[in-house]
Amino acid sequence: MTAPIIELVEYQARRNAILTQMTCNSACVISANKLLTRSNDTEYVFRQDSYFWYLTGFNEPDAILVLLKSATGLGSCIMFCQPKDALAEIWHGRRLGCLAAVEQLGLDDAFDNTDIDSALPALLSGVDAVYSLYQQTHLQTRLNHMITALKQVPKKSDLAPSQLIDCQAWLDQMRLLKSPAELAIMQAVADISADAHRVTMQYCQSGMNEYQLEAQIQYQFAVHGARSPAYTTIVGGGANACILHYTDNNQTLRDGDLVLIDAGGELQGYAADITRTFPVNGKFSAQQAALYDIVLQAQLVAIDCLQPNTFITDANTACVEVLTQGLLELGVLTGTLADNLEQLTYRQYFMHGLGHYLGLDVHDVGAYAVKGHSCALQPGTVMTVEPGLYIAPGSPCPAEFHGIGIRIEDNIVITNEGNHVLTHAVPKDRLEIEALMSTVRELSRQ
């Protein structure tokens, strides 16, 4: 199957949407990422800046996109990018170069990035406002220097732009609502990641190391087209699952323990973010099963709540009620439901949020609240739903539950009718997990 892609016209439409919002006689400047040094003269694998990628689909470092809107409202798109250079390309890889960039990226013009310091001030001279992303601090410093220099030109200081405006909110709102093409890619990466979770569940055996499951799941992502994980894979056996951002992944998986895997692939920049928790030996113990079913019920209730024009905070309230009620029934919490809810006692065992937006960033951009008012969910929003219970050793509850950490995380898209679970292909029902794991165990015994 060929992977879905974002067509050039969609990138152009995104740039035009920004141009439409800009005032006349202004410029918008967005930077690509730089290569990051790993050690001495070797670099980390390059990952493009998500905003730059969203507006261009161009995966080279050291480029700058400039959107210009004339005094009469005419828009144009210009890029500074790495020049063609035979020697550099022999050492470091192919470069698109200016000529091809204009055609392939649908630009009006492109210039060598070696000319930025002279050509960019010339483009900015005479515009009223410059839009940029304040979080791109490196570019921000450069723009400040350029504008300060323009201010100091004798008798022409009036040509320096007088406003520097952060345009992050525009881009975040656009990125929050996924297009059909983006959703097709997110479904594809969810499918690849779901298959990888299933295979890794079947692969798991007592005595393996956590990093063997990490290797297996990342191998599965890569061979099916999602070459990189979208974030650092978490594989936590036993009590390691109670460390929320555990990434050591270097302990032996023990018979009788659960293992939590939080892992997702990245496809064309878009992330999947799936967590499953399952028994190392393929069978849940009574205590593990009791806690697991509470988390699953809480997740299902939360997913049900997440509909168009609803609020994540309300889904969280419903989820927390199920968790608290379940912990009371097990004797992990004591007292009345009302008192426990009022005192937020669940927070000892569920200390993170219900979920987050998902897209080009695993913790994707987009406002959750504006001036203290929660934002209602809109169709096209993709988010995770990931309740958990983490009963760390030494917790103030019966010892039989100590060292059990459980999270169940799926990715959903809000639709006009309700929601769709992108990651439904990984089993999460306890009996389905046990059945999936037992088929392989039976086969390996024959």
Hey, which residues are catalytic here? 41, 245, 262, 273, 352, 356, 363, 386, 390, 407, 409
- Of the candidate residues 60, 214, 262, 364, the single one contacting Mn ion (CB under 5 A): 262
Q: How far is the CB of 145 from ligand GLY (least distance, A)?
A: 37
**Is residue 273 a contact residue for Mn ion (CB under 5 A)?**
yes
- Of the candidate residues 51, 53, 111, 231, the single one contacting ligand GLY (CB under 6 A): 231
Q: How far is the CB of 182 from ligand GLY (least distance, A)?
A: 20
Distance CA 75, CA 13 (A): 12
CA-CA-CA-CA dihedral for 345, 348, 354, 358, to nearest 10? 160
**Is residue 33 a contact residue for Mn ion (CB under 5 A)?**
no
Residues near 78 by beta carbon (within 8 Å), at least 6 away in sequence: 65, 66, 67, 68, 107, 108, 109, 110, 111, 123
Q: How far is the CB of 236 from Mn ion (least distance, A)?
A: 12
Residues near 162 by beta carbon (within 8 Å), at least 6 away in sequence: 128, 129
Residues between 361 and 380 that touch ligand GLY (CB under 6 A): 362
Work out what residue 214 binds among ligand GLY, Mn ion, none; the CB cut-off runs from 5 to 8 Å by kind.
Answer: none
**Is residue 191 a contact residue for ligand GLY (CB under 6 A)?**
no
**Is residue 281 a contact residue for Mn ion (CB under 5 A)?**
no
Nearer to ligand GLY, 61 or 229 (CB): 229
Q: Which of 124, 112, 115 is nearest to 29 (CA)?
A: 124
**Is residue 266 a contact residue for Mn ion (CB under 5 A)?**
no
Q: How far is the CB of 338 from ligand GLY (least distance, A)?
A: 31
**Is residue 210 a contact residue for ligand GLY (CB under 6 A)?**
no
Give the largest Cα separation in the chain, rounded.
88
Sign of CA dihedral 194, 314, 183, 32: negative
- Of the candidate residues 50, 281, 384, 411, the single one contacting Mn ion (CB under 5 A): 384
CA atoms within 13 A on the CB side of 125: 13
**Is residue 249 a contact residue for Mn ion (CB under 5 A)?**
no
Q: How far is the CB of 219 from Mn ion (least distance, A)?
A: 19
Tracing tokens 């379940």 back to the chain, one arrives at 326
Tokens of 238: 């036993």
**Is residue 357 a contact residue for ligand GLY (CB under 6 A)?**
no
The phi, psi pair for 159, rounded to 5°, reads -80, -15
SS3 state at 247? coil
Nearer to Mn ion, 257 or 262 (CB): 262
How many residues belong to the site for Mn ion (CB under 5 A)? Answer: 5
> Given the rule CB under 5 A, which of 72-80, 84-92, 273-281, 413-421 is the region that contacts Mn ion?
273-281
Q: Residues 26, 130: contact at Cβ < 8 Å?
A: yes
Work out what residue 231 binds among Mn ion, ligand GLY, none; the CB cut-off runs from 5 to 8 Å by kind.
Answer: ligand GLY
202: left (phi over 0), alpha (psi -120 to 50) or beta: alpha
Residues near 215 by beta carbon (within 8 Å), at least 6 away in sequence: none
Q: How many CB atoms lie within 10 A of CB 270?
A: 29
**Is residue 386 a contact residue for ligand GLY (CB under 6 A)?**
yes
Q: Which of 322, 297, 318 is nearest to 307 (CA)?
A: 318
The site map against ligand GLY for 245-284 (x = CB under 6 A) is: -----------------x----------x-----------
Tracing tokens 């009996």 back to the chain, one arrives at 431
Work out what residue 277 binds among Mn ion, ligand GLY, none; the CB cut-off runs from 5 to 8 Å by kind.
Answer: none
Nearer to Mn ion, 352 or 430 (CB): 352
**Is residue 316 a contact residue for Mn ion (CB under 5 A)?**
no
**Interface contacts to ligand GLY, rule CB under 6 A:** 231, 262, 273, 356, 362, 386, 409
**Interface contacts to Mn ion, rule CB under 5 A:** 262, 273, 275, 384, 409
